[in-house]
Structure 1
Amino acid sequence: MARPAGRRAEILETFTRHVAEFGYERTNLGNIAKELGMSKGTIVHHFGTKAQMMRELEANLMNRQLDAVRSVWERLDKPQERIAAFVFACAVLQVVARDATVASQREVVQLADDPGMQEVRKLRHELQHMIEVELRRGIDDGVFRPVDVGAVTLQMWGSVQWMWVWFQPGRGHTPEEIGSTFVDILLGGLLVDRFGLNVLSDPNGEVATVVSETFAADSAR
């Protein structure tokens, strides 16, 4: 995914960091302008409103997550591998896109009814649909137990969305280790045969490695 460049990108990155640290309501464009040594009018010129900046923050993160999951899934075919990869990707995002992830997840209901967030909701629904498809495929293949696919998808989504509250990168656990615990619990409850679960949840295994390599290649671009 191409990254925005220049002054506009610098403004959005600073805004993202402020939202992650202080929350959307307490983020002040005047403070951002002061930090960057520019006028508030310059920020307004680039984005118009604080709400528009939040929309772009959300859209950029969702697109990055979708791009990563699609790339990983091109290398992994089995439904259990793909679900595990999604979970690992959510954990790795906590590090490689820390500010954006925290800002988005702590403000998950912010602008929820805003018509301008329609594109973000569409992207989120697309990713959730991808998960649902893999869950159904796993059930049809006899890999997963019959479950309420919609409910399990939301349960999975909700659990990884709250990771930012307690996971502090660099303090004891790698994102792969955190992802491993989630995979073990989430897939452990889905798999008909738990033999091989340790391979799927291995923080140094193939699935985790594919995810890490994908994000490393993305960051290098």
Structure 2
Amino acid sequence: MATQLRRTPRPDAAAAADAAAPAVSPWSGAGERQRQREAKRNAVLSTAAQMFNERGFHATSLDDIAARLHVSKPTLYYYVKNKDEILLACVDKGLRMTLQGIEASRAAGGNAVDQLRACMQVYAGIVMQPFGMCLIRVGDEEVPEPARGELRRMKSEIDLAFRRLVAQGVEEGSLAPCDPKMTAFVIAGALSWIGRWYQPEGAHTPEEIAQQCIETLLGGVLARAPRTTRSTAKKRAASA
């Protein structure tokens, strides 16, 4: 007669725990999927900005961007519509970083020169980053309408921020009398140009470059006569 095998009943507590345990889904929740998609979209934009800076917008294709990311070209279309959208997003990021940094510098307080120096530091630092560099190296004419008008409006906000600080400094007496509009153009133009010649592998760090350029703009390039102290003046008078 065959021996029947009997299953040993599991303890009631263990069985109840198994029944109460939620099933583990292999799919991420909506929030996690959105975070992953945003992270991958940012990777596409960052890579594109670097390649636009290296090769130029027109010389960079979606195939080039996909190859550097080690994905297929169709994969890119899940995150962006076309190359124009990528360019617009890169330039927009550079502008918003700049405006937010300038606003934070002004909100920190201080006199006009302190705020101007802080804003210059922010601006110089951003134009040496991929999105800021893309903002400088890509011309407005390469951005399609109607976004071109919005980008020009945002750029004018940067210009107006510098103008206000220059005018405030002149009024306070901390800056020499000047035309705020012309001076703001000079400051922004000089700092913007860093984004064209800066090379990450160069001899100077971004901080050193920004500091040197700011000191040159604020202090000028002409040698200044050393200040004569009272003791020096007395010695000169005695020997005369």
| TM bucket normalised to smaller | 0.7 to 0.9
The aligned counterpart of 2:234 is: none
Distance 2:141 2:77 in 1: 20
SS at match of 1:6: helix
Distance 2:80 2:125 in 1: 29
The aligned counterpart of 1:51 is: 84
The aligned counterpart of 1:121 is: 152
Q: Is the 8 A contact 1:132 1:149 kept in 2?
A: yes
AA of the residue aligned to 1:132: R
CA RMSD of aligned residues (A): 2.2
Identity %: 22
Q: Where do residues 16-31 of structure 1 align in structure 2 (5 Å cutoff)?
A: 16-31=49-64
AA of the residue aligned to 2:206: P
AA of the residue aligned to 2:176: R
Which has the higher mean CA deviation after the structures are superposed, 149-158 or 107-116?
A: 107-116
**How far 1:69 sits from its partner (Å)?**
1.8
Unpaired stretches in structure 1, ≥5 consecutive residues:
190-221
TM-score, length basis structure 1: 0.74
Q: How many residues align?
A: 184
Q: Which has the higher contact order (CA 8 A, sep 6+)?
A: 1
Q: Is the 8 A contact 1:135 1:149 kept in 2?
A: yes
Which has the higher mean CA deviation after the structures are superposed, 36-45 or 85-94?
A: 36-45
Q: Is the 8 A contact 1:16 1:57 kept in 2?
A: yes
Distance 2:98 2:144 in 1: 22
Which has the higher mean CA deviation after the structures are superposed, 39-48 or 55-64?
A: 39-48
Quickly say closer, same or farther: Cα 1:169–1:10, change in 2 above 3 A: closer
The aligned counterpart of 1:93 is: 126
Q: Where do residues 15-164 of structure 1 align in structure 2 (5 Å cutoff)?
A: 15-95=48-128, 98-111=129-142, 114-164=145-195
Q: Is the 8 A contact 1:94 1:169 kept in 2?
A: no
Q: Is the 8 A contact 1:87 1:182 kept in 2?
A: no
Match of 1:187 among 218, 221, 238: 218
**How far 1:46 sits from its partner (Å)?**
2.7
SS at match of 1:64: helix
**How far 1:170 sits from its partner (Å)?**
5.3
AA of the residue aligned to 1:150: K
The aligned counterpart of 1:171 is: 202
SS at match of 1:35: helix
SS at match of 1:84: helix
Distance 1:80 1:184 in 2: 12
Which has the higher mean CA deviation after the structures are superposed, 176-185 or 36-45?
A: 36-45
Q: Is the 8 A contact 1:88 1:175 kept in 2?
A: no
**How far 1:21 sits from its partner (Å)?**
1.1
**How far 1:45 sits from its partner (Å)?**
4.0
Quickly say closer, same or farther: Cα 1:166–1:187, change in 2 above 3 A: same
Unpaired stretches in structure 2, ≥5 consecutive residues:
1-36, 221-240
**How far 1:112 sits from its partner (Å)?**
5.4
Match of 1:5 among 17, 38, 41: 38
Distance 1:63 1:35 in 2: 26
Distance 1:118 1:48 in 2: 20
**How far 1:9 sits from its partner (Å)?**
1.4
Q: Is the 8 A contact 2:48 2:65 kept in 1?
A: yes
The aligned counterpart of 1:214 is: none
TM-score, length basis structure 2: 0.68
Deviations 1:12-33 (A, max 9, x none): 1111111011110111001222
SS at match of 1:118: helix
